[in-house]
Amino acid sequence: MKQRFLIILTVIVLLPIKLAAADTLTVEQKLVSEYSRMTVFRNQVWQNAAIRYDQRPFTLTDISVKGLYDQRGNAALAQEGNGKKDFSAEVNSFLVLNQSSRLFGQASYRNGRRKNVVWNENSDYSMLYPYVVGDSIGGFMKEEEYKFSGGYAYRFGKWTAGAEIGYRAVIAYRDKDPRPRNIISDLQASVALARNLNEKYTLGLSVQVRKYNQKSDIKFLADKGSTSVYQMLGLGMDYIRFAGTQTSTRYTGSGIGGSIDLLPVSQNGENNGFSVSLRTDYFHLTKQLSNLDYTPINEIKNIDVSLETAWTRQIREWEYGVHLLAALQQRTGVENIFGEPSGNSYPKLSSIDQFKNTTLKAGLKGRIGQTLDTNCRWGWTLLPSVGYGQTKPEYKSNGRYVEIASASGGLEAQSLWKVSKMLLSASVAGGYTTNVKSEYSLPGLDTQKSAGSALLSNIDYLSDDHASIALKLRGDYVVNKQYALFLSANWLHQEYKNCGGTDRIEVSLGVTF
């Protein structure tokens, strides 16, 4: 795995170096353009591989190594741990091959460790929940992740075609009882088509498919023997029939989705005007017990719908923008009921929709600023924002539910200076999130047991008011016309009313060309 990944990483690094001679812009011009470009104000629309042709008018590649430290204390989900340390290396590249073709790719390696994970021995909790394998002991979790993706866009007349494929592989484990070992493969692919409409807008359509697999095994090697593991069902419930010694599971999933996207035609490298992107994805996941002839005990049906709209305008050195993102997720959990077994085979009798979770998020952001151009040594941007979020998980048979809603507001100030061969950027952001609604009903929950205590701790965290402050610093040193070195540091502190404080620090070192 590592040898294959290094080969792919080397190809992605060397390809843009070979093509760099065809680019007439200096790396300093590219960096200044990247800092001031309004394209970064949009996100979802660039997931369309055909529309990504217009993401930037020049070739750009960056290679970086990163270190991450995240300490959350009590302000964390029990199933995801309360701390993280990561080291990663990453390559991102966007290549303008010629007037008609664009090539883009990404490759990364991450080696990390999460702390104090309980009631979850699997990886990708946000994808698998609530149907994880859990126990009260838990502990740290070591992780290795490999990712790579590549895409191509080709323009012919008023039409643009694009395709992209991405693959992620993860190995997660613990070398202390209980000893899970999770192996993940996650393959995604998309095709897209876009057409220029009256030289003002580009209309695009895309289709995405996904194939997911996670194999998980738990071993106990200590002399004291094994402890019970549980097949969790959500809101403190577990599948009692299969509790105890079922330590091998397999998750298989597949998904399909699509998007319709509208983007202003690029003028001088900027897509100023109104854009909209509507995306929907459906994902189906099955959990199987490997030791019982791969008995499928649970299923997840997940629907995601997201709408992104943005308006941007640039008048000489002044820039303005408004961005709106609204997302809805509907997750249904299915429990399969089985009859008496014949050997390791369990006959399926029926299926019941027991778990349901509806999540809604909406955010509005504004932008006003003055760009840094050839006649200016200083540029600045202000980004005010407001947001709202709501989640309501329910377990139908016993009437358990939790409903939490929160509202937030914040302001970010960014600044960029040009000093000799240095480009210096800094941003400071502050915000506050307040609870709007927090209520729950958990009949029959034993709060003295570990599972019940973890659930209440999660509710306290998700409904807690908190303030946040973030600081980002970056310096780019222009070595010559082709290369620049950069160093960046990001710090985020959150102070919760009841759960205490959190700190997240990330440091990156890299080269851009």
Could you report the per-residue pLDDT of 456-477, keeping only the tens digit for each?
999 999 999 999 999 999 999 9
pLDDT in tens, 309-340: 999 888 877 889 999 999 999 999 999 999 98
Which one, of 32, 84, 38, 85, lies nearest residue 60 by Cα?
A: 32
Residue 10 has pLDDT above 70, yes or no: no
Residue 5 has pLDDT above 60, yes or no: no
**251/132 Cα distance (integer angstroms):** 10
**349/339 Cα distance (integer angstroms):** 6
**243/339 Cα distance (integer angstroms):** 16
What pLDDT is attached to residue 223?
A: 76
Tell me the one-letter amino acid at 180.
Answer: P
Residue 452: its H or E element: helix 450-462
Residues 216-229, mean pLDDT to the nearest whole number: 86
What pLDDT is attached to residue 173?
A: 97
Tell me the one-letter amino acid at 38.
Answer: M
**168/92 Cα distance (integer angstroms):** 15
Q: Would you state the structure tokens that stand for residue 69, as one six-digit string?
A: 């430290």
DSSP helix, strand, coil percent of the chain (3-state; round to 5) = 15, 65, 25
What pLDDT is attached to residue 446?
A: 93
Q: Would you state the structure tokens that stand for residue 373, as one six-digit string?
A: 């151009």
Please state which of the ranges 15-19, 150-154, 349-353, 477-481 shows the lowest mean pLDDT.
Answer: 15-19
What is the reported pTM? 0.90
Burial track 471-481 (b if 16+ CB lie within 10 A, e otherwise)? ebebbbebeee
Task: Confirm if 285 and 312 have CB atoms less than 8 A apart.
Answer: no
**441/332 Cα distance (integer angstroms):** 19
Q: Would you state the structure tokens that stand for residue 141, as one six-digit string?
A: 């979790």
**Residue listed under structure tokens 């408004």:** 322
Which one, of 508, 513, 367, lies nearest residue 65 by Cα?
A: 508
Give the residue, 3 or 411, on which the prediction is more confident. Answer: 411
Please state which of the ranges 106-115, 141-150, 188-197, 224-233 shows the lowest mean pLDDT.
Answer: 224-233
Give the start-to-end residue ranges of the domains of the chain.
2-512
Residue 455: its H or E element: helix 450-462
Residues 222, 223, 224, 226, CA torsion sign: positive
Tell me the one-letter amino acid at 182.
Answer: N
Instruction: Judge residue 59's burial from the number of C-beta atoms within 10 Å of its C-beta, 0-12 exposed, 13-18 middle, 19 or more buried.
Output: buried
Query: How does residue 21 score in pLDDT terms, banded at 50, 70 and 90?
Result: very low
**224/119 Cα distance (integer angstroms):** 20
Query: How does residue 8 score in pLDDT terms, banded at 50, 70 and 90?
Result: low
HEC-encoded secondary structure of 329-357: EEEEEEEEEECCCECCECCEEEEEEEEEE
Residue 103 has pLDDT above 90, yes or no: yes
What pLDDT is attached to residue 151?
A: 97
What pLDDT is attached to residue 20?
A: 43
Residue 407 has pLDDT above 70, yes or no: yes
Q: Average pLDDT of the chain?
A: 91
Residues 364-373, mean pLDDT to the nearest whole number: 86
Give the residue, 489 or 293, on which the prediction is more confident. Answer: 489
Give the residue, 55 or 1, on which the prediction is more confident. Answer: 55
| DSSP letter, residue 464 | -
What pLDDT is attached to residue 412?
A: 95
**281/257 Cα distance (integer angstroms):** 4
Residues 379-389, mean pLDDT to the nearest whole number: 94
Query: How does residue 269 score in pLDDT terms, banded at 50, 70 and 90?
Result: low
Task: Confirm if 35 and 379 have CB atoms less than 8 A apart.
Answer: yes
